[in-house]
A and B are shown apart, each in its own frame.
Chain A
């Protein structure tokens, strides 16, 4: 049995990691819930966002947290245009096509990054990257604590937008009743694009939260998105709050498995749990039952 002084920091660190996982999953689950498609380009877009944050610092000297303020709207617009002018038109209304288009997009983006920047792994050095927050019972890395707070704020903001604004209501309406939405005068193509844009904007924020303590290479996004897929299923496909809760949960599972089984086996726990959930509770741990 491990003592509390080891267990508590492990759990807290798991929560911090899990929050960023949750943010990546948030975008994925939002897009799934409204467009009913699995966005295979999610990982590649995260990678692109991380490169953007990296070069914003390297070339322009922009601090990642400052870069988030610029990159989030940029990725919002990018996501909007991708859905409105590429994915939507190329799909001709067939979900099967959408899948292939996003997959194709992922290949194109990754290879462009590979061609432009090579396969090297890059990191940035920030003076605050190794600063520690002392909670008495645990030491936590400052950038990860900041990340946790930002993720909570972003989730709350997204929830408010979906609950209170006209566009948010339209997004929820389109998710469940597309025909009724069309006939109420809601421009479904626009709402699809806004949703995709929100999902992509989440990635820009996640990228800026990750870059101070993480590295970037042309495949980095996939590692996160694989975990994010698990979170989406655990949280209930399409559930925004489910994604956050499941993200935190997965972070803790990973951290505890790392503690008990060794650092390199941390993610095994996630996938074992994933298979168990698929077997016994396919609607997700926190999702509504179908």
Chain B
């Protein structure tokens, strides 16, 4: 296994008096795909928000690429190459596809931006066709591609995707998972939160299962996939 890119330990976080995450331990290696699975309300998105700095951790540590980031603001964390693509499609609806992408590479120079945009268009040719269209008028699938593309513009080392396949047609979901493999092969680690458990376990190397704010199980995807007892107990399959 290669070097550790993200390591979370003893992490607690929540909203005001409500504690959602309790003692999270998580590691993602460079260029690895890791899945976080769990039922609705388990705290998956809360975990993502805490890692990306939108939500303050109440306790514990988050290290990314050798630096402690649990006290940093989201902009600083983005600059380090940790990009969180949130659930729901947070495109900038009043800006064009191109402008959305530009803002993803906000902190990169203009030269790097043009190169990155070409790369995004190569991965998502549909976005190239719609480069001057206002993002608010893109279809749901196109908006999802756009937010992932916007994340790629920042040259991530780690990309956190929160339910990217939500609301997409089966065909598009298939395509999306193929693209994740491709993005990963370019050297980008993925932390993947998904409802499509089966496909997710196919692409991820390791998986964590979250229940009510604690990880109840983690291991190689293949082991979880091949163990009917585990699948029934934790994933309802």
Contacts and interface: CB of A to CB of B under 8 A. Distances in A.
Interface of A: 166, 169-170, 172-173, 175-177, 179-187
B104 interface: yes
Interface in B143-158: 147, 150, 154
A187 B103 contact: no
Interface string B71-88: 001110011000111100
A179 B92 CA distance: 10
Contacts of A172: 92, 94-95
B75 A176 contact: no
Interface of B: 52, 54, 73-75, 78-79, 83-86, 90-95, 99-100, 102-104, 106-107, 147, 150, 154
A183 B52 contact: yes
26 contacts: A166-B103, A166-B106, A169-B95, A169-B102, A170-B106, A172-B94, A172-B95, A173-B103, A176-B92, A176-B94, A179-B54, A179-B86, A180-B86, A180-B90, A183-B52, A183-B83, A183-B86, A183-B90, A184-B78, A184-B103, A185-B74, A185-B79, A185-B107, A186-B75, A186-B106, A187-B75
A236 B147 CA distance: 29
A166 B86 CA distance: 22
Contacts of B106: 166, 170, 184-186
Majority-rule SS of A interface residues? helix
B94 A186 contact: no
A172 B106 CA distance: 14
A181 B107 CA distance: 12
Given A169-B102, A172-B94, A183-B84, 4 more contacts: A173-B95, A177-B92, A181-B92, A187-B75
Contacts of B74: 182-183, 185
Contacts of A181: 92, 103
Nearest to B52: A183
Nearest to A288: B94
A166 B153 CA distance: 15
Contacts of B102: 166, 169
Contact of B103 (A170, A175, A179): A170
The 8 closest A-B pairs by CB, nearest first: A180-B90, A185-B78, A173-B92, A187-B75, A182-B74, A185-B107, A185-B75, A177-B92
Given A185-B75, A187-B73, A180 B95 contact: no
A173 B104 CA distance: 11
A235 B103 CA distance: 28
Nearest to A180: B90
Contacts of B85: 183
Contacts of B154: 184-185
Nearest to B92: A173
Contacts of B99: 169
Nearest to A190: B75
Contacts of B104: 184
Contacts of A180: 86, 90-92, 147, 150
A182 B75 CA distance: 6
A94 to B, nearest CB: 13
A125 B150 CA distance: 56
B150 A184 contact: yes
Contacts of A176: 92-94
A173 B105 CA distance: 13
A256 B140 CA distance: 49
B195 to A, nearest CB: 21
Contacts of B103: 166, 169-170, 173, 181, 184, 186
B7 to A, nearest CB: 21
B154 to A, nearest CB: 6
Contacts of B93: 176-177
A47 B155 CA distance: 47
A179 B90 contact: yes
B104 to A, nearest CB: 5
Output the residue of B78, B95, B104, B106 with the most chain A CB within 10 A: B106
Contacts of A184: 78, 103-104, 106, 150, 154
A173 B90 CA distance: 10
Nearest to A178: B90
Contacts of A185: 74-75, 78-79, 106-107, 154
